[in-house]
């Protein structure tokens, strides 16, 4: 699994789309404005997302983008894989001259962990996040939308 800023842009944009796309399509210009991502970078990202059928574009005035399928059927892993494309990290994929000693054990463990991270992200859907947001919005006054995360605690 690879989680770069590019993947973040894609997830953030998809989240924006899921939240704002309930009534009619959302234009990339809106997402660009909302999220502070350049329009043509969004175009690139959405070209990748479209090719994986995670979004569907409608041209012309009043057009924009819809989710390609239900938000519950789109996982975070789907989104990240669409734009970041999975690259094999270890060169030995179990087959080469790397099959003895602790070297390949390391690689095997890495692959296991990597798959576990993937599964984790594959089990979180856009729909999950949207529902989580709906709960937050009702339990909090809308103006005091404070992000409560101890940033420093995770640096150590």
Partner DNA sequence: TAATTTCCGAGTAAATTACTTGGTAATGAG
Partner DNA sequence: CTCATTACCAAGTAATTTACTCGGAAATTA
Q: Which residues bind DNA (CB under 7 A)?
A: 4-6, 9, 25-29, 36-41, 43-44, 46-47, 50, 57-65, 84, 87
37 binds, among a second copy, DNA, none (CB under 5 to 8 A by kind): DNA
CB 67 within 8 A of CB 49: no
CB 35 within 8 A of CB 100: no
Structure tokens at 1: 């699994």
Residue with the two structure tokens 């809308």:
142
Span 36-65, contacts to a second copy by CB under 8 A: 36, 52
Structure tokens at 88: 């094999």
125 binds, among a second copy, DNA, none (CB under 5 to 8 A by kind): none
Given the complex with DNA, which of 29 and 105 has the nearer CB atom?
29
Instruction: Provide the minimum distance between the beta carbon of 27 and a second copy in the complex, in angstroms, as a whole number.
Output: 15
Element (H, E) at 25: none
Which residue, among 4, 83, 91, has the nearest Cα to 45 in the 3D structure? 83
Given the complex with DNA, which of 9 and 76 has the nearer CB atom?
9
- Residue range at the interface with a second copy (CB under 8 A); choices 9-17, 38-46, 55-63, 64-72: 9-17
Span 67-86, contacts to a second copy by CB under 8 A: 76-78, 81, 86
Calpha distance 121→140 (Å, rounded): 27
């Amino acid at each position: 699994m690879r989680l770069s800023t590019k993947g973040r842009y894609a997830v953030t944009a998809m989240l924006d789309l899921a939240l704002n796309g309930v009534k009619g399509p959302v234009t990339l210009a809106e997402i660009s404005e909302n999220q502070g991502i350049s329009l043509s970078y969004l175009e690139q990202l959405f070209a990748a997302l479209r090719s994986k059928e995670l979004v569907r574009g409608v041209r012309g005035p009043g057009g924009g983008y819809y989710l390609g399928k239900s938000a519950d059927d789109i996982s975070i892993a789907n989104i990240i894989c669409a734009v970041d494309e999975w690259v094999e990290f270890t060169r030995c994929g179990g087959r080469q001259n790397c099959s003895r000693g602790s070297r390949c054990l390391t690689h095997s463990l890495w692959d296991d962990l990597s798959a576990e991270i993937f599964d984790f992200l594959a089990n979180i859907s856009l729909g999950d996040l949207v529902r989580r947001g709906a709960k937050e919005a009702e339990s909090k006054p809308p103006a005091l939308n404070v992000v409560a995360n101890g940033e420093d605690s995770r640096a150590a």
